[in-house]
């Protein structure tokens, strides 16, 4: 193999665009790994760990763009780098049918040119992100801070500044939001409606908004806070501002508060504010204790599915759970599937692109009678996988974690690592069920189910050739309005032999039922 790299001095590109460029470059014949990224300290560290911090890239600065490939030989590596240059030029061209817009060189110039702008999306190298966010706040804008690697002290300072100015500072690392019907980052296309969210998890926000849409309602606002907001160091500043914003919003009738379990003192402050909202508030602290949140206008939800159902019930109606399967339906499906398994097939292997979806599945499965379910995610350190690259027993893996994305695009954009892992899990004679999520929406892969389907079919065929069945259970987090098209995505998975469930929690329940009693 041959590693080659190139540095483009002072050329900034948005991180989502760079992940897509990385995916396209990695598909170049003869290339096994490819990275197109800004040369931040974190990215340089990851490149070094992957053995790709070579040549001129070793001296790159944070505002430089780096291209690194691991290819079959020197000629292929050189051709791949040339192709990367072409892709960068293509990415800078306006879309067909659109007029080229003069690029503003500063945020203030952009505000003046656009007129009426209310939100700035900041996606620059972490060391510059806080300064650009300050400029956006000074210009009177709300800020979605997509960038990560922002110091926690700077985060708190930014959020205090935003609060003083009556603005929202979403992030750092806020990958998803829906504001006035406009999806930002990795957001799904959903109808507008009376349910508002404040969420510290990206794919958790996506799942709840998608289920609200499927349940016949819609979203007023969905505010991403960033993963550290509910720590003591930050104090829940954006969560509290978001709750106040939704409480005052006449278009919001029901509020949903979603995150991983916060620190107790922060939770107490946030929940006290939620109790004063004057509206129903559904609280989903995934993995938290129900006793810490219930009562009054607050309803506790243990899963993302339950949060969406509770929000819909709070609007009125007959109180029925719109996502509940018909009585005995999951059990019948599980019994039929389990009948085709060989005696040694005992384990569930989950391969997730969404971190919160992986967390929700862990909650569902660990509530059952399966014994230990290990992961590289979740809050239980005693159930951590010794090596996330290898499954042991029941195992759910979040492939979006840093150990899997070093030198690779995120699995929501690039399916190749998941396809490789799917083949490995299918080859294990102890694997009974492979559990998958497929995330649609803006920024995600153009056809994620279509990319996974051949691998699913091949894995099932390989298992059959070895004298056993392989159950593949999947959920598509998306809507009929998403650019990828929910019906088309679900059909592709079913055609490949997967069992497709309407919620992530139900997919996990079905997997648990299939292997129940097979120990």
Using one digit for the tens of pLDDT, what is the confidence trace for 287-333?
776 545 557 899 999 999 999 999 999 998 777 888 989 889 999 99
% of the chain residues with pLDDT over 70 = 93
Contacts of 266 (CB under 8 A, 6+ apart): 230, 231, 232, 235, 236
Task: Look at strands 65-71 and 31-38 and give their pairing.
Answer: antiparallel
Q: Fold match between 107-314 and 329-515?
A: yes
Mean pLDDT of the chain: 89
Q: Check if CATH label 1.10.10 holds for domain 2-92.
A: no
Domain extents for the chain? 2-92, 107-314, 329-515
State the pLDDT at residue 15: 66
> In the 3-class helix/strand/coil scheme, how is 332-397 assigned residue by residue?
HHHHHHHCCCCCCCCEEEEEECCHHHHHHHHHHHHCCCCCCEEECCCCCHHHECCCCCCCCCEEEE
Residues in the chain: 519
Q: Per residue in 464-477, pLDDT tens? A: 999 999 999 999 99
- Residue 490: per-residue pLDDT: 98
Question: Is 0.85 surpassed by the pTM of this model?
Answer: yes
Q: Cα separations (Å) of 184 from 22, 123, 308, 356?
A: 21, 12, 21, 18
Contacts of 450 (CB under 8 A, 6+ apart): 489, 492
Q: Does domain 107-314 have CATH number 3.40.50.261?
A: yes
C-alpha to C-alpha distance for 101 and 423, rounded to whole angstroms = 46
Q: Percentage of the chain surpassing pLDDT 90? A: 60
- Residue 291: the pLDDT is 47
Give the residue ranges of the chain where pLDDT is below 70.
12-16, 91-105, 125-126, 289-294, 406-408, 519
The CATH number assigned to the domain with range 329-515 reads 3.40.50.261
Q: What letter does residue 484 receive in the DSSP assignment?
A: T
Q: What is the pLDDT of residue 440?
A: 97
Please tell me the predicted confidence (pLDDT) of residue 175: 86
Helix axis angle for 448-465 and 416-427, nearest 10°, is: 20
């Amino acid at each position: 193999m041959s590693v080659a790299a190139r540095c483009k001095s002072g050329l900034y590109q948005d991180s989502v665009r760079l992940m897509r460029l990385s995916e396209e470059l990695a598909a170049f014949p003869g290339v096994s790994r490819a990275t197109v990224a800004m040369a931040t300290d974190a990215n340089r560290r990851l490149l070094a760990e992957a053995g790709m911090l070579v040549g001129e890239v070793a001296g790159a600065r944070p505002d430089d763009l780096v291209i690194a490939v691991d290819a079959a030989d020197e000629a292929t590596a050189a051709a791949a780098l040339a192709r990367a240059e072409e892709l960068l030029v293509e990415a800078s061209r306006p879309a067909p049918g659109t007029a080229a817009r003069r690029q503003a060189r500063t945020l203030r110039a952009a505000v003046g040119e656009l007129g009426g702008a209310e939100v700035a999306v900041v996606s620059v190298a972490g060391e510059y992100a806080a300064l650009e966010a300050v400029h956006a706040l000074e210009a009177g804008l709300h800020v979605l801070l997509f960038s990560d690697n922002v110091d926690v002290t700077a985060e708190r300072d930014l959020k205090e500044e935003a609060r003083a100015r009556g603005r929202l500072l979403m992030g750092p690392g806020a990958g998803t939001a829906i504001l006035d019907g406009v999806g930002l980052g990795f957001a799904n296309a959903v109808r507008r409606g009376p349910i508002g969210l404040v969420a510290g998890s990206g794919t958790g926000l996506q799942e709840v908004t998608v289920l609200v849409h499927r349940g016949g309602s819609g979203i007023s606002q969905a505010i991403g806070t960033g993963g550290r907001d509910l720590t003591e160091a930050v104090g829940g500043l954006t969560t509290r501002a978001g709750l106040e914003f939704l409480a005052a919003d006449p278009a919001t009738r029901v509020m949903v508060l979603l995150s991983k379990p916060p620190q107790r003192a922060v939770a107490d402050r946030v929940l006290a504010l939620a109790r004063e909202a004057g509206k129903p508030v559904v609280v989903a602290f995934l993995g938290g204790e129900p006793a810490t949140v219930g009562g009054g206008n607050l309803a506790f939800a243990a899963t993302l599915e339950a949060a969406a159902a509770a929000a819909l019930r709070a609007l009125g109606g007959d109180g029925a759970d719109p996502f509940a399967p018909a009585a005995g339906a999951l059990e019948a499906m599980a019994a039929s599937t389990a009948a085709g398994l060989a005696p040694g097939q005992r384990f569930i292997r989950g391969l997730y692109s969404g971190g919160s979806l992986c967390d929700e599945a862990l909650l569902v499965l660990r509530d059952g009678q399966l014994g230990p379910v290990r992961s590289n995610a979740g809050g239980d350190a005693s159930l951590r996988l010794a090596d996330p690259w290898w499954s042991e027993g029941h195992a759910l893996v979040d492939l979006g974690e840093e150990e899997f994305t070093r030198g690779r695009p995120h699995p929501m954009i690039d399916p190749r690592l998941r396809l490789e892992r799917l083949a490995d899990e299918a080859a294990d004679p102890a694997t009974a069920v492979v559990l998958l999520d497929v995330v649609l929406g803006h920024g995600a892969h153009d056809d994620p189910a279509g990319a996974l389907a051949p691998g699913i079919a091949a894995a099932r065929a390989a298992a059959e050739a070895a004298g056993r069945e392989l159950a593949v259970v999947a959920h598509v987090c998306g809507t009929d309005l998403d650019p990828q098209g929910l019906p088309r995505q679900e059909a592709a998975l079913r055609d490949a032999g997967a069992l497709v469930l309407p919620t992530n929690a139900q997919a996990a329940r079905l997997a648990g039922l299939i292997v129940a009693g097979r120990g």
